[in-house]
């Protein structure tokens, strides 16, 4: 008698990998697809309804990625040498590490016009690797506008860096729509509170 089926992990996120011809949502199976394949297989092998095995899944990023969103603000806009628009956000690769291999979907968080333009999205870090999207079509954004980066729940908080900018608040929205602050943003105090400076270095002398 089969007591359980362990399907393991490796279930993909629907995010689009850089270099992919098709969007991730068009090529990655969803949970309905997985359920159909598993159930049909169980029925095909003749399992009785009262003898179905325990199904074990390690869903990983396929489940948790869709639970996370990142809210950012526009700091500045300008034209690049190739005439493309560049939009600088207050969130960079130090906060959204997975932007190195995913083309995350980005959308404006406020009302917008139907006119859109190809633009590059940059973060606030002082280095040219801080590019969230090399090219994305978005409505014209101005300083102070907000944007939402979709499906960032997997591997971003565990990899984000305390580098140049401080890490932001993390909030949870429950099933009733109530917002809970579950992790406070960093401050200078929280950064230095764990530092232990030797006494002979506390007084600076020339």
| pLDDT at position 43 | 85
| pLDDT at position 1 | 82
| pLDDT at position 105 | 95
Q: Which CATH superfamily is domain 68-165 in?
A: Lyase, Ornithine Decarboxylase; Chain A, domain 1 (2.40.37.10)
| pLDDT at position 103 | 95
Neighbouring CB atoms inside 10 A of 80's CB total 10
Side-chain half-sphere CA neighbours of 82 within 13 A = 7
* CA proximity to 149, closest of 70, 53, 39: 70
| pLDDT at position 184 | 95
SS (H, E, C) 49-91: HHHCCEEECCCCHHHHHHHCCEEEEEEEEEECCCCCEEEEECC
Check: CB of residue 131 under 8 Å from CB of residue 172: no
| pLDDT at position 173 | 96
Q: Which residues make up the CATH 2.40.37.10 domain(s) of the chain?
A: 68-165
For the chain, which ranges sit under pLDDT 70?
Answer: none
Hey, what are 127's tokens? 């280095």
């Amino acid at each position: 008698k089969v007591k359980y089926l362990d399907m393991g992990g490796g279930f993909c996120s629907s995010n689009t990998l850089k270099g992919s011809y098709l969007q991730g949502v068009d090529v990655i199976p969803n949970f309905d697809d997985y359920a159909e394949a598993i159930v049909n297989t169980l029925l095909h092998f003749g399992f009785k309804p009262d003898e179905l095995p325990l199904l074990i899944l390690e869903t990983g990023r396929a489940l948790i990625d869709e639970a996370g969103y990142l809210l950012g603000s526009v700091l500045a806009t300008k034209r690049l040498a190739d005439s493309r628009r560049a939009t600088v956000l207050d969130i960079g690769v130090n906060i959204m590490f997975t932007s190195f291999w995913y083309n995350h979907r980005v959308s404006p968080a406020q009302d917008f016009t139907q006119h859109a333009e190809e633009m590059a999205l940059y973060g606030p870090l002082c280095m040219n690797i801080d590019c969230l999207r090399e090219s994305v079509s978005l409505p014209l954004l101005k300083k102070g506008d907000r944007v939402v980066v979709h499906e960032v729940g997997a591997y971003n908080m565990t990899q984000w860096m305390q580098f140049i900018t401080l890490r932001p608040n993390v909030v949870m929205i429950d099933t009733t729509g109530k917002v809970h602050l579950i992790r406070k943003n960093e401050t200078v105090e929280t950064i230095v509170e764990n530092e232990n400076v030797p006494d002979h270095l506390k007084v600076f002398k020339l």
